[in-house]
Amino acid sequence: MKVGVYGAAGYAGQDMVELLLNHPHVELIFATSSTSAGEIVPNTDLRYVPAGDVTMTDADLVILALPHGASAVAAKQAVDNGVRVLDLSADMRLDTAESYKQWYDLDHPHPELLDAPYGLPEINRDALRNVQKVAVPGCYPTTTLLGLYPLLAMDALDANAPIIVDAKSGVTGAGRTPKPNTHFVTVHDNLTPYKTGRKHRHVGEIEQEIAKITPSHGILIFCPHLLPVARGLMASIYVTLNHRITSDRVHSLYTNHYADEPLVNVLPLGVDAQLKDAVLSNHCTISITPVTDHQVHITSVTDNLRKGTASQAIQCLNLMYGFEETLSLI
């Protein structure tokens, strides 16, 4: 299977290439970059090339690690030419052009792409088999939704209480382009909240997917922070339960639900998930702490560039083509 990666020199693109090179059924035929053209793609004989210098139809599958807006244009070209697409941007994640406009302040260039299945295999596995295009979820939504899913699926949350997500990510989550808030002097010895008050774009994505699982849920209060580390993401989630379950049963609910999920680990009671559990791992690691009879603290950790992006895309690739889902991941 021939695969091309657009935006391959970014942080997510680099991890994507690394994982593809370990996949026994993948031949990487091109890797594009607008900023690193001419440089050698690590561990290959390829060089990064501008996107305009490649022939998309030479590939069976393209993986798009492009900016929002630009990704949809490339995805449309691929779909029209029968090339399969894995999109790492937000351009196919939201269900409507109106929602995309609300959260990204862009007019969607190709709303017809918004029927793409949402690529979170542990929740949406069957919809990802043998499809042409997949929207790979964001890192915060992946970590949050996996942390919440067993309770959501049971409709066990108090609809009158908020879902509070206190999330922290390494600076690679902000992308490779330098920004004032990602400079060393800003990040070092610091912990910074950003896009607070429901301003973060992933709020819309998380709420959309929660609503598909259960209509009975409270408002999402989501506060992201920038950690002074390169990679890794931790979501501390605080929820109030309804009459369907008490907090002492939540851990067994999670261990049973995720027992057959090879890329989700539920830690024993009394053991808290740590960032180092996830860094450079393709897994999501979850811990459960009862607070009161009807309140629970869930900690969910991922590597924002792996299970939060690139390795999740590999899961989706494997499902699209009928391979073992964890091929090249464990």
Question: Which amino acids are annotated catalytic?
Answer: 139
Nearest to 10 by CA among 34, 30, 26, 27: 34
Torsion on CA atoms 4, 264, 303, 91, rounded to nearest 10: 50
Strand order in the sheet with 264-266: 192-193, 220-226, 163-169, 233-240, 295-302, 284-292, 264-266
* CA separation for the pair 240, 164 (Å, rounded): 10
CA distance 137 to 59: 23
Task: Report the b/e string of 160-177 with b at 16+ CB within 10 A.
Answer: ebbbbbbbbbbbbbbeee
Q: Among 210, 244, 218, 237, which Cα is nearest to 296's?
A: 237
Rounded distance between C-alpha atoms, residue 152 and residue 213, angstroms: 6
Contact 147, 298 (CB under 8 A): yes
Report whether 51 contacts 59 (CB < 8 A): no
Angle between helices 11-21 and 311-321 (to 10 degrees): 50
Residue 256 has which token pair?
């049973």
At 311, list the tokens.
């390795």
Residue type at 41 in one-letter notation: V
In angstroms, the CA 311 to CA 283 distance is 9
SS3 at position 264: strand
The whole-angstrom separation of Cα 32 and Cα 53 is: 9
